[in-house]
Amino acid sequence: MPPPLQPIPGSYGWPVVGPLRDRLDYFWFQGPDEFFMKRMKKYQPTVFRTNIPPCFPFFDGVNPNVVAVLDCKAFAHMFDVEVADKKDILVGDFVPSAAFTGNVRTCAYLDTFEPNHAQVKRFAMDILKRSSKVWVSELLVSLDEMWSTVESNVSAKGSTNFLLPLQRCLFKFLTKSIVGADVSKSPDIAKSGPIILDAWLALQLLPTVSINVVQPLEEIFLHSFRYPSFLIRRGYNKLADFIGSKGTRKQTNLTRVHYGLTEEEVVHHLLFILGFNAFGGFSVFLPGLLGRLISDQTLQEQLRVEARKNGNVDLSFDSVKQMPLVQSFVYETLRFKPPVPTQFARARKDFRLSSYDASYDIKKGEVLCGYQPLVMRDPKVFDDPDSFKPDRFVGDKGAELLKYLYWSNGPQVGSTPNEMNKQCPGRDYVTLTASLIVAYLVRRYDSITGDGLTIRTVQKAMTK
Ligand code: HEM
C-alpha cells in the first residue's frame, strides 16, 4: 500500500523576495545544513518546497524553486531515469557557460535521453578502464613524492599544510592515468596545472557554493553574478593544448573511431573528466578524509594494525579489499560528508514521489533537490546517524547499508554505473583509491599527528 497522498508543504514566497530571503539564509544567516534542517523541522516531513540559490539580481532565467527531498526513499527517485531528467541540471537550474569547456557540453550535463550521453559516458568508462593499467602504480609514485615533500616541510618548518602537495600529487597521477601525459616532463604544467584547475572550478561553481568570505562581501561579490569564462581562458587553453599534444595519441585516434567525437571534442571531454570529475572530486573528498585520520590517534592505530596485517606487501586494489575497516572508514566519511552535497533532477513527466509516511504529486518540469548530508543521516536507515562510526560498514549488516550510500548519485552496491544511468563511473575507483591512500599512510608512518589541513609530526615506520 503506498503511503497516503499529501500536498507538498512549504512555499516559494513572494517573487524576488522569497528567493532572496532563502538565498541569504542559505549562504549567510544559516548555511546549507541549518537551512535544510530548519525547514525540515518546520514542515515535519522530509519533502517540501523551497528556493535554492543562485537567484536575483543577475541570474535572469534561473528558476530557484525546488522540491527538497531529504530522506533515502524520496531521494532514490532521482536515480529513476524514467522520471528524472538530468539535462543541464548538475548544479541546479543555473548552468555555467559551455565556454568554460570549449563550447562542448560535457557528460555530467547530458541527460540519459540525449543520444550523446551514452556515447560520452562509454568514452569516460573506457578511458577509466584503460587507465586502470597504470592507476595504482602512478598513484604510489605520486604518493611517495608527496609524503617526502611533507616530511621535508615538517622538519624545516615544524608543521605544514598538505593541500598543495596533495593537489600536485593528484594532478600528476590523474594526468598520467587518464590522459596518458607525464607532467614531470613539463615542470611548468606540473606547477601551474592544479592552480589553473582550482580557478577554473571556482569560476564555474562560485555562484552555488559558500567559501566563508566575510559577509556581506561574499553575497555582493561572489553570489550575485555569473563569472565570464574569459577570465580563465588562457589557463584552460594551456591545459587543453598540453592534453592535445602530450596525451596518448593512440588513445585519441581510437576514441575518434569508436565514439564519433572530433579530436577537439575528445580533448575537452578528457579535460573535464580529469579536471572537474576526478581532480575536483578528490580535492573535495580527500582533505576531509585525511584530516580525520591525522587527528584521531585511536582510529589511526586500529587502521594501522589492520593495514599491516592484511593485504599483500605491495599495495593494490586487491590488497585493500582485504581491509574491511579501512574501506568502512572511507564509506563512513562519504556518508558523513558527501563530497558533492546537492543533486538535482527535473521531472520528465508528472509522477508520484513516495517518502516513508506520505506520497506527493510532482508535476512535469518541477526540480527536485536532494541534499545528501541530511539524506545520509536518515534515521530510518542509519543507527545513531549523527555519530561518525568508522566501522559502520563492516560485516553483513554494514554491507547491507551500502545500498543506501548515495554519494556517487546512485547506491554503492546493487546498481552499476552505465550509459543508461547517471551514476558516477568513478564510483569504485574512488573508494578503492581512497582506501589505498589510507592504507599507504598507516603503513608508511608509525604515527602522524595534526588537524584539518595541517600535519604537525610524522614518525616513519621502521619496516614498511
Ligand atoms: C572523489 C571523487 C569523485 C566524486 C566525489 C564524484 C562524484 C560524482 C557525482 C556526485 C556525480 C553525479 C552528478 C550528478 O549527476 O548529479 C558524478 C558523475 C560523473 N563522474 Fe564522478 N566523482 C568522482 C570521481 C570521478 C572520476 C575519477 C571520474 C573518472 C572517470 C568521474 C567521472 C564522472 C562522470 C563522467 C560523471 C557523469 C556521469 C553521467 O553523466 O552519467 N568521477 N561524479
Q: Are 119 and 143 in contact (CB under 8 A)?
A: no
Test site for ligand 1: of 78, 116, 344, 424, most ligand atoms within 8 A of the Cβ:
424
- The amino acid occupying position 48 is F
Q: What are phi and psi of 444, to 5 degrees?
A: -70, -35
* Residue owning the nearest CA to atom 33 of ligand 1: 424
Instruction: Please give the radius of gyration of the chain, using alpha carbons only, rounded to the nearest integer.
Output: 22
Q: Are 168 and 247 in contact (CB under 8 A)?
A: no
Among 18, 110, 105, residue whose Cα is nearest residue 66: 18
* Residue owning the nearest CA to atom 11 of ligand 1: 424
* Residue owning the nearest CA to atom 18 of ligand 1: 424
Length, in residues, of the chain: 464
Measured in angstroms, how far is the CA atom of residue 409 from the centroid of ligand 1?
8
What's the pLDDT at 464? 47
Strand partners, 346: 85, 367
Measured in angstroms, how far is the CA atom of residue 426 from the centroid of ligand 1?
6
Q: Are 174 and 181 in contact (CB under 8 A)?
A: no
Cell of 22: 532563502
Q: Which atom of ligand 1 is nearest to the CA of 286?
A: 1
Q: Give the integer Cα–Cα distance in Å for 56 and 15.
A: 10
174 lines ligand 1 (CB under 6 A): no
Q: Give the integer Cα–Cα distance in Å for 283 and 274.
A: 12
Q: Which atom of ligand 1 is nearest to the CA of 407?
A: 10
Pick out the residues of the known binding site.
424
Measured in angstroms, how far is the CA atom of residue 447 from the centroid of ligand 1?
33
Measured in angstroms, how far is the CA atom of residue 154 from the centroid of ligand 1?
34
Query: Quick check: helix, strand or coil at residue 315?
Result: coil
From the CB of residue 194, how many other CB atoms can be counted at a distance below 10 Å?
23
Q: Which atom of ligand 1 is nearest to the CA of 127?
A: 30
370 lines ligand 1 (CB under 6 A): no
Cell of 248: 596518448
* Residue owning the nearest CA to atom 29 of ligand 1: 426
State the burial class of residue 351 (Cβ atoms within 10 Å of its Cβ: 0-12, 13-18, 19+): middle
Helix or strand run (H / E) with residue 368: strand 367-371
437 lines ligand 1 (CB under 6 A): no
Test site for ligand 1: of 111, 171, 266, 277, most ligand atoms within 8 A of the Cβ:
277
Pick out the residues of the known binding site for heme.
424
Q: What are phi and psi of 343, to 5 degrees?
A: -130, 145
Query: Quick check: helix, strand or coil at residue 219?
Result: helix
Among 109, 130, 448, 167, residue whose Cα is nearest residue 295: 448
Which pLDDT tens digits describe the chain residue by residue (464 residues)?
789 999 999 999 998 899 999 999 999 999 999 999 999 999 888 999 999 998 877 787 899 999 999 999 999 999 999 999 999 999 999 999 999 999 999 999 999 999 999 999 999 999 999 999 999 999 999 999 999 999 999 999 999 999 999 999 999 999 999 999 999 999 999 999 999 999 999 999 999 998 888 888 888 888 988 999 999 999 999 999 999 988 875 555 556 667 788 889 999 999 999 999 999 999 999 999 999 999 999 999 999 999 999 988 899 999 999 999 999 999 999 999 999 999 999 999 999 999 999 999 999 999 999 999 999 999 999 999 999 999 999 999 999 999 999 999 999 999 999 999 999 999 999 999 999 999 999 999 999 999 999 999 999 998 54
289 lines ligand 1 (CB under 6 A): no
128 lines ligand 1 (CB under 6 A): yes
Q: Which atom of ligand 1 is nearest to the CA of 109?
A: 40
Cell of 176: 598520467
What's the pLDDT at 254? 58
Q: What are phi and psi of 335, to 5 degrees?
A: -70, -45
What's the pLDDT at 251? 56
